[in-house]
Structure 1
Amino acid sequence: MTVSASSGLPGARPVTLITGATGGIGRALAQRLSPHHDLVLSGRPSPGLDALCDELGAAALPLDLTRPETFEAAVAALGPVTYLVHNAGMVELGPVGGQPHEVWARTLMVNTVAPAELTRVLLPRLRAAQGVVVFVNSGAGLRANAGWASYAASKHALRALADALRDEEAPHGVRVTSVYPGRTATEMQRKVRTQEGAEYQPDAFIQPDTVAATIAFALEAPRDATLTDLSVRPGPRP
């Protein structure tokens, strides 16, 4: 399916590009936005991505986040883009003394370099729409714990990217938000719990739709405000 071309006129449906769209948060966000947004859903080429696009009437944008040099050609046929949500990411736990450089290189490529490059190639469209860029960060982007060095380093760098971009693009009317979810009930969290040798109990974590609602709030905030940093933490348990 091709992206429907939004006219950019008042009342036109926004065009929203979501990376990591088949993951827990990405899927929840796509489902939440689909009634009122034209969606471009990005992920690894897969039947899951195709099925989600068919379900929501969205356009698929397969991307390999380890190859940012391919992004410019991949987005060349896109029309306007109003909102860009960087949701994709990867994590491999391990101590500094135990992780080879390949893990560091891949983690930084997927979590930091890829969002930077995708933002760069889409900036003309985002400026034209006076749009919003949302970086889905992590609590690890605010504090690094033992065993989390490579992931936390990539997320600290993502925060720096967002902060610099916010100041650079303010004159163009582009707003930039970082969202810092705590542990969220996703397949990535299941993987993390396995690596930690702990049980995965999804009810103990934030639900993906809660994070999706926070992102949607940032996208749709009135233009007289910029939501710079939003932390989402698990609520009190009875």
Structure 2
Amino acid sequence: MGTYLITGATGGIGAAVAELLRERGHDLVLTGRSPERLDKLESALRGGANAPTQVITPGAVPPPPRSAAITTIPLDMREPRRIEAALAMAEVPERLDGVVHAAGVVHLGRVADLDADAWMEHLSVNLVSAAELTRILLPALRAAEGHVVFVNSTAGLRANPQWSAYAASKFGLRALADSLRAEEPSLRVTTVYPGRTATEMQRKVRTQEGGTYVEDDFATPSTVARVLVSALETPRDAVVADVAVRPHRPG
């Protein structure tokens, strides 16, 4: 089994990825801004359907079920300069099979209305912290010839009105992924571009747009997570470099 670090683990896509990786028996390092939400997520992953199981073979003495390790680290991605110190005090493994960058923030607004603080928050959370965390974790990733996954957005492929700051941060995240892939040949690097997904972030976006949030209009976080985990599980002779996941409404 492997060890995976997930940022934004308490959010919709991050939590769904954590659940799938937990079901597969991997060790997890979960990060998020709120210690309380991290504790709640850890408790949920350790119980119920995510509890360790064992297969009984007639006539054999079954081994004890393996309980995958779960470590939580509070990290505020709005403060990229503090990430290294926070990780230095935490128990980060010396080998990481993968890092999933799922943390993100979005505030809509016209270029004429967005101030410097709004731009700096988008860039700090969505881009600079991802770059800083990747830099710090590169030795552990190199040791395992690991996999880095950036949860981007279709806004990282096209910028629409009122999405300038968010799209700029996601365009930058795409550049980070492309450069990392070229610089670190021992690593696999994947960018996932989800379209509109049924998360609390999407609920906030629909409010900012003056629209109604209808969950069934969007892809579920678990669907996006399944695509992401499939990329992680691609045999090592290939890499899924880029994949877009958009909502589909038959008929």
- With normalisation by structure 2, the TM-score equals 0.87
Instruction: Indicate yes or no: 2:145 matched with 1:136.
Output: no
Cα distance between partner residues in 1 of 2:145 and 2:107: 36
Instruction: Tell me the residue number matched to 2:166.
Output: 151
Structure 2 unaligned blocks of 5 or more: 47-69
Rounded Cα–Cα distance in structure 1 between residues aligned with 2:233 and 2:87? 24
Q: 1:123 aligns with which of 135, 138, 142?
A: 138
Deviations 1:165-202 (A, max 9, x none): 000011xx101000000000000000000000000001
Question: Which secondary structure does the structure 2 equivalent of 1:17 belong to?
Answer: strand
CA distance in 2, matches of 1:94, 1:107: 12
Rounded Cα–Cα distance in structure 1 between residues aligned with 2:40 and 2:250: 35
Could you tell me which residue of structure 2 aligns to residue 192 of structure 1? 205
Stretch deviating more after TM superposition (92-101 or 45-54): 45-54
Deviation at 1:82, TM superposition (A): 1.3
2:51 alignment partner in structure 1? none
Q: Decide which of 7, 26, 37 is 2:26's aligned counterpart.
A: 37
* 1:150, distance to aligned residue in structure 2 (A): 0.3
The structural deviation recorded for 1:236 is 3.4
State the partner residue of 2:35: 46
RMSD over equivalenced CA pairs, Å: 1.0
Percent identical among aligned pairs is 56
Of 27, 35, 45 in structure 1, the residue corresponding to residue 15 of structure 2 is 27
Shift of 1:204: 0.6
Q: Could you tell me how far apart the structure 2 residues matched to 1:233 and 1:120 are?
A: 30
One-letter amino acid matched to 1:190: R
Kindly report structure 1 stretches of 4+ aligned residues shifted beyond 6 Å.
none
Q: In 1, distance between residues paired with 2:113 and 2:71?
A: 41
The residue number in structure 2 matching 1:74 is 86
In the alignment, the residues of structure 2 paired with residue 122 and residue 137 of structure 1 have an alpha-carbon distance, to the nearest angstrom, of 19
TM-score (norm 1): 0.92
Deviation at 1:48, TM superposition (A): 1.6
Given that residues 217 and 249 in structure 2 are in contact (C-alpha distance below 8 angstroms), is that contact kept between their aligned partners in structure 1? no
Match of 2:71 in 1: 59
Structure 1 partner of 2:49: none
Deviations 1:70-127 (A, max 9, x none): 2222223311221100000000000000111110011100000000000000000000
SS at match of 1:39: strand
Letter in 2 for 1:21: A
Matched, 1:113 2:128: yes
2:65 — aligned with what?
Answer: none
**Secondary structure at the residue paired with 2:184?**
helix
2:193 to 168, 172, 180: 180
What residue is the counterpart of 1:225 in the other structure?
Answer: 238
C-alpha separation in 2, matches of 1:71 and 1:220: 28
CA distance in 2, matches of 1:54, 1:69: 30
Partner Cα distance (1:111, 1:194) in 2: 21
CA–CA distance in structure 2, aligned partners of residues 48 and 62 of structure 1: 10
C-alpha separation between the residues in 2 aligned to 1:165 and 1:92? 27
What secondary structure does 1:34 align onto?
A: helix
Write the distance in 1 (CA, Å) between the matches of 2:250 and 2:103.
29
Structure 1: tracts of 5 or more residues without a match: 1-12
Match of 1:75, SS?
helix
The residue that corresponds to 1:162 in the other structure is: 177
Amino acid at match of 2:6: I
How many residues of Structure 1 are paired with residues of Structure 2 in the alignment?
224
CA contact (8 A) 2:10 2:41 kept: yes
Aligned equivalents of 2:237 and 2:140: distance in 1? 21
